[in-house]
């Protein structure tokens, strides 16, 4: 477990300076190195989501990191940057008791292990497209509306737990479906759309098992992507299992290009009563007040192991 400095000025080893970022412009700049990897964190800068979201920064001699915790669309966490910096932030600000790691680098799983039990990890890869690379597919699809929520939930429930997408959720999002007669057999939609950041994340792609291999997922994903780009979105992002060769091939045909490796996982905090994070924050803030001002927290960096 990360040790807390008694006083920042007495640190014998380099530490991390932890602070909350409140200016969207500063946060955007911190996430600009890889916008595709950071798509969720950027999208949550949207005013309606930002009010329910916290961004924490760690700065140290050995690197820097950023952690986002949001309750806007469920308990979501995003981790960016140096793993030890991420570890330092999580030791003080672990987020919700139960949540979801929406985006992290593969090496971040070890970084969150001290504070969270990470289950059902998904090792994925980001892909993205723009108006310059996108290729619109052929085939008939239809924009889905709120009245189609029951059909969407029934389709998703065929290979997973029941879903409860409301009419309002579907109406406010962008969903497209492919039909066989009156039956919805393939669907794709948006996880989050940010007009201010000009970025969107596409997902929830699913095709009825009896209708797979006919290019339907490619059609509906392409339709969602096309509408986003027509609305002026600069970057459209999705996440895919790199071992799912048919899906990767379909997205590649649409003009999506492969980006960074990412990991997703369910998160459960290891502390049961929440005293430990509270105490660590109290001590860390006291350390920061001595020479850097109120609100700054300091965490000692772990000793790094040499790799042969």
User: Cα separation of 73 and 226, whole Å?
Assistant: 24
> What does the pLDDT read at residue 11?
37
Confidence band for 280, pLDDT divided at 50, 70 and 90: low
> What does the pLDDT read at residue 302?
72
Q: Walk me through the domains of the chain, giving residue ranges and CATH numbers.
A: 8-124+264-300 (3.40.630), 134-255 (3.40.630.30)
Confidence band for 295, pLDDT divided at 50, 70 and 90: low
Whether the pLDDT of residue 3 is over 70: the answer is: no
Whether the pLDDT of residue 4 is over 80: the answer is: no
Smallest CA-to-CA distance from 137 within 245, 66, 214 is with: 214
Q: Which residue has the higher pLDDT, 244 or 280?
A: 244
The predicted model gives 112-138 an average pLDDT of 97
The predicted model gives 8-36 an average pLDDT of 82
Whether the pLDDT of residue 277 is over 80: the answer is: no
> What does the pLDDT read at residue 132?
97
Smallest CA-to-CA distance from 217 within 193, 192, 241, 247 is with: 247
> What does the pLDDT read at residue 13?
43
> What does the pLDDT read at residue 244?
96
């Amino acid at each position: 477990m990360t040790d807390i400095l008694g006083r920042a000025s007495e640190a014998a080893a380099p530490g991390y300076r932890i602070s909350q970022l409140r200016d969207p412009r500063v946060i955007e700049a911190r996430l600009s190195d890889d916008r595709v990897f950071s798509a969720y964190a950027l999208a949550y800068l949207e005013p309606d989501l930002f009010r329910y979201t916290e961004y924490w920064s760690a700065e140290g001699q050995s690197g820097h990191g950023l952690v986002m915790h949001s309750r806007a669309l469920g308990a979501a966490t995003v981790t960016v940057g140096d793993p030890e910096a991420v570890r330092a932030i999580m030791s003080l600000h672990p987020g919700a008791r139960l949540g979801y790691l929406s985006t992290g680098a593969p090496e971040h799983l070890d970084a969150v292990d001290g504070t969270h039990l990470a289950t059902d990890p998904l090792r994925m890869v980001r892909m993205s497209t723009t108006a310059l690379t996108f290729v619109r597919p052929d085939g008939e699809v239809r924009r889905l509306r709120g009245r189609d929520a029951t059909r969407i939930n029934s389709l998703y429930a065929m290979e997973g737990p029941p879903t409860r997408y409301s009419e309002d959720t579907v109406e406010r999002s962008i969903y497209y479906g492919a039909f066989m007669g009156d039956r919805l057999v393939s669907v794709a939609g948006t996880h989050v759309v940010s007009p201010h950041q000009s970025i969107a994340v596409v997902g929830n792609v699913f095709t009825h098992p009896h209708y797979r291999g006919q290019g339907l997922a490619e059609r509906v994903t392409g339709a969602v992507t096309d509408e986003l780009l027509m609305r002026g979105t600069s970057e459209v992002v999705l996440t895919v299992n790199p071992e799912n060769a048919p899906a990767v091939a379909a997205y590649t045909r649409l003009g999506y290009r492969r980006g960074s490796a990412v990991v997703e996982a369910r998160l459960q905090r290891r502390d049961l009563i929440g005293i430990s994070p509270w105490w660590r924050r109290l001590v860390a803030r006291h350390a920061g007040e001595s020479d850097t001002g109120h609100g700054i927290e300091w965490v000692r960096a772990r000793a790094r192991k040499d790799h042969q």
